[in-house]
Structure 1
């Protein structure tokens, strides 16, 4: 018993400072990124939230793909060495701005030190900004520039959505999450991701079912933008929200939507978006074919496609985090 108490005390002593230090380090990163975005905004007139949105999108897809190297600096934007220095440049590691320009590379000296370094955060962000500047700095022309660069409508939509989120809240630290239903509600759930489903054909269950009473509020789990709202013959009345980390959150079988909820709306953790119901498995209006519950799914986009992943561990984590926040209020 004495050893157990000693272990608990030591755990508390070491865990608390570590968590505080980690939080402070993350805030420092956000501050440095914002300073970088603001510097580039000052020289290009491209609003910082568009730069932040591109940066965050690129950082997200680098985490989701194995064919791209992990981001090491403040920025997540990635250029292939041959694109940076120029396809015909005999030196793929060239840092000379004039030579890079001669070979039609995108490399740019963003901090004025006479070098265009692919490992320098300001050079990289300025290089991407210069690409956008060839189209303009207003919203419509920035969208055109993004499409010309990525050649994918969904990518452009995701980035523009992120920009709107950043602009709305005016900050980068948007990491907080909430559990999809109030913790005080009578609810239950278990890990059902990947289970077999038969209605409408053989398929797997792409989410976690949270059983609760009819009409229990359904809440946004994070900061995001409403990408989809409407009826689906499987999910019934459902809402789709894209968060700042490029994760798509899917809420299905709702009894209805929150008043005035609309596509393109910005939401925050804990904001009510609808109610638990039993809609779905049929044409619009079908309900009652199963007990009331919320189907909650999570999907990740990697720049090419989107796939489902298990939300259960995240739900457990967000529940613990929200309880801790409520306890400290």
Structure 2
């Protein structure tokens, strides 16, 4: 009798404490997105729309999450300026907040909230300074790229920021974190396991940089994320493959396809569930080679950290996305 009462009571207590925590965490994340968006909208200009500010900010946030040599800015806005940029290279005071002396030494830091200080640790001052800097180059897409080049001096960084800008502008939102499993979780048979790092011999000794999801020929292959199609075509290793870059500095690689979605092309915007093509067994040879291995989707993920792009194991993400996708389809 005591056990019958005790177990339900324990479950009730657990639910009481855990469920509100989950809800509060979700609400907090949504509040951060809203606060961030409000700031972007407050400092956009006719030359610098909000999604350009948001793209630069998101890129900075992305690299801070994976780079140990860059301090992570614990605030709503992630953009960080160097002392030289903010106060001027010849300014003896790296912590200078006086707009007058900053301007005297050729610094770019500005007062964005009207408190008389140009503080590079203040979100409003940071966004106002970035908006002003970008606006100096003009309103066009090419002007924006020129501004990014002058600031970052790296084409790969520019490409990543432009991708983020495209997505934010198209969806009119910065809440683009949803992911799904790359194959339909119902109506088709499939299997997979963690094969990251396994040896591969064709084309020279190398390791397996992804997860193989085995399924029948023609099983639809779906985009796991929001993104922009960066690559489509033949690769001697991956056969017919599609490469998609998302707003988190991640490149998603879908290989060994039987064929592509005929309506898809490089530069297209995709979202979770967009059909990219179908499972096949293409690859390991000249264009059109097929049948050298059982049909499967090779799914890979690569992270760009502002310097290099490196592969990481997608298996834990696939397990999570599979559960989420199944739960969402109940």
Choose which of 97, 100, 104 in structure 2 pairs with 1:98.
Answer: 100
Aligned to 1:288: 291
State the alpha-carbon separation in 1 of the partners of residues 113 and 295 from structure 2.
57
State the alpha-carbon separation in 2 of the partners of residues 6 and 197 from structure 1.
54
Aligned to 2:25: 22
Confirm or deny that 1:255 pairs with 2:258.
yes
Confirm or deny that 1:211 pairs with 2:242.
no
Confirm or deny that 1:52 pairs with 2:93.
no
Q: Report if the CA contact (8 A) 2:217-2:280 is conserved.
A: yes
Is 28-37 or 6-15 further displaced after alignment?
Answer: 6-15
Rate the CA distance shift 1:32–1:276 in 2: closer, same or farther, 3 A.
Answer: same
Rate the CA distance shift 1:37–1:294 in 2: closer, same or farther, 3 A.
Answer: same
Confirm or deny that 1:194 pairs with 2:160.
no
Aligned to 2:166: 164
1:1-329 map, 5 Å: 6-42=9-45, 45-184=47-186, 185-327=188-330
State the alpha-carbon separation in 1 of the partners of residues 60 and 292 from structure 2.
42
Deviation at 1:64, TM superposition (A): 1.4
Deviation at 1:140, TM superposition (A): 1.5
State the alpha-carbon separation in 2 of the partners of residues 324 and 105 from structure 1.
52
Large movers: runs of 4+ above 6 Å: none
In the TM superposition, what whole-angstrom CA distance separates every residue of 1:72-106 from its partner, at most 9, and x where no partner exists?
A: 11111111233322222121111111111111222
Equivalent position SS for 1:248 = strand
Deviation at 1:113, TM superposition (A): 1.5
State the alpha-carbon separation in 2 of the partners of residues 192 and 224 from structure 1.
25
State the alpha-carbon separation in 1 of the partners of residues 131 and 275 from structure 2.
37
State the alpha-carbon separation in 1 of the partners of residues 146 and 87 from structure 2.
24
State the alpha-carbon separation in 2 of the partners of residues 11 and 187 from structure 1.
35
State the alpha-carbon separation in 1 of the partners of residues 193 and 206 from structure 2.
19
Q: Report if the CA contact (8 A) 2:47-2:135 is conserved.
A: no
Q: Report if the CA contact (8 A) 2:47-2:138 is conserved.
A: no
Structure 1 unaligned residues grouped into runs of 5+? none
Equivalent position SS for 2:257 = strand
Q: When the two structures are superposed, what TM-score results if normalisation uses the length of structure 2?
A: 0.95
Note the aligned Cα RMSD (angstroms): 1.4
Rate the CA distance shift 1:6–1:234 in 2: closer, same or farther, 3 A.
Answer: farther
In the TM superposition, what whole-angstrom CA distance separates every residue of 1:161-211 from its partner, at most 9, and x where no partner exists?
A: 111101111111111111000001201110011111111111110000000
Aligned residues: 326
Deviation at 1:137, TM superposition (A): 1.7
